[in-house]
Chain A
Amino acid sequence: MSARERWFALALRAYPRAYRAVRGAEMMTTLVESTETASWWSVGADGLDLIVRGMRVRMALGPDRFAGRVLMLAALPGFVMAAAYAVVQLAFGEVASSLPTHFGPFHTVGAAVYFVWILGALVKPRYQQSLAAICILASALSVPVGDAFFARPLLRVLVVLVGLGLPSLLAPPADLWFSRSRTVAACAGIITLSLLIPLAASGESTRFPVPFSPLEMLRLDQYLTYVAAAGAAAACALVVVRRTDLLGAGALVFAPWFVAGALTPYYGGPRWSNNGFDALVVCIVTVWLAVSWFLDLRTPPPPGKAMESGHLG
């Protein structure tokens, strides 16, 4: 076995055993034949691509699995919200009230990075995941860079941005699912909301209310019961029409806000107080998502029913 074949065999181990049993030998043949005259760079890239794809199959994140569909639906709204939130942070966030303490590269570079992300993903969907990886890496790096030169960004801001970006990173590549007109309309709505909500809140303070709650920012907290009831009704309707993937995507997009809120007391912020009910709803949906994903993990990975005609491996 050549070094190239050893490298491919190692990369193929990223796929689950059941998948390799059906596809392993065939994929190895294709890999070897397609890289006979390829450069070492291309061979390396092929192996890395296999590892990413294999991990996705292993984690049941393919487009034909429940978790994959949920991630695909959550990806675009998620990173649009992340981009809008980064801009809002830059314009109305901590900088205005506490420049020396929290000012850091994130607040200046972050917005630009996330805008590149969203523009790149809309114009070149095939680079969506690479761009998502860059944004998440930039967010994470802003902590040590901030420590060294400025000040680290707030934990809750990082949690929200990374949390909103993860679906875009983990989702199966955009293919067959991208309905551009609907997506653009949804994005425009989310961006508008994301920009207007903090503006509505900024009348009282230049800082975001802590913990972040879209309801709180809209000053809808006095109507929380009705809003939560409407949310619960919408959730039930989605279950009835069997669009549980949409429900899951909604939970994924809102989850980072609530995680950030739940973390607040542990790093010295005000207590998480008046958004308990909507947080409970999101927690229930998130637990259900996790259980669905776990059950999906236990079912054999699907090379496709039509593929199961024989085992070459």
Chain B
Amino acid sequence: MLLRMSSEIREPTYLVLTALAGGRRHGYGVIRDVESISGGTIRLRAGTLYATLDRLAADGLIEVAGEEVVDGRARRYYQLTDSGTVALADESRRRVVVSKEALRRLRLAGGLA
């Protein structure tokens, strides 16, 4: 629903979706993955992560993919839905097109070797 209101997915949400593209992840797994994908520049706080997961679940882009208790600690796993996979692929293609164009222009301007 919210995705229809805008053509862009902002960085933290995009990173969460990207983390889940690698397979199902639990909360801390997503945080670690996002930090790794972003080159250490973005560390999601738990409150932010779960607000993002709520929103993505409400939009039908992710779903629960199992629960378990490890060392007395509860974990819930998430994965992309089919809609989430399509949304991530669309957004990634859009970003690739923009990035390629940016690099092309930089080369033309002599800004890149």
CB distance from B20 to the nearest CB of A (A): 13
Verify A174–B10 contact, CB threshold 8 A: yes
One of A23, A34, A56, A176 near B9 (C-beta < 8 A): A176
Q: How many residues of B contact A (CB 8 A)?
A: 41
Q: Which residue of B lies closest to A174 (CB)?
A: B10
Interface SS majority for chain A:
helix
- Interface stretch (choices A44-52, A79-87, A228-236, A269-277): A44-52
Our count of residue pairs bridging A and B at CB distance below 8 angstroms stands at 127
CB distance from B6 to the nearest CB of A (A): 5
Q: Which parts of B54-113 form the interface with A (CB within 8 Å)?
A: 54-58, 60, 62-64, 67, 69, 73-76, 81
Q: Flag B1-16 by CB within 8 Å of A: 1 or 0 each.
A: 1110111111011000
Q: How many residues of A contact B (CB 8 A)?
A: 42
CA distance A62 to B27 in the complex (A): 20
Verify A29–B10 contact, CB threshold 8 A: no
Contacts of A307 in B (CB 8 A): 53-54, 57, 64, 76
A261: Cβ under 8 A from any B Cβ: no
Contacts of A172 in B (CB 8 A): 51
CA distance A172 to B58 in the complex (A): 15
Contacts of A302 in B (CB 8 A): 54, 58
28 A-B contact pairs sorted by A residue (CB < 8 Å)? A23-B50, A29-B74, A30-B26, A30-B27, A30-B46, A34-B46, A46-B45, A49-B45, A49-B47, A52-B47, A53-B51, A64-B54, A175-B10, A175-B12, A176-B2, A176-B8, A176-B13, A177-B6, A179-B7, A304-B53, A304-B56, A304-B57, A307-B64, A309-B67, A310-B76, A312-B69, A312-B74, A312-B75
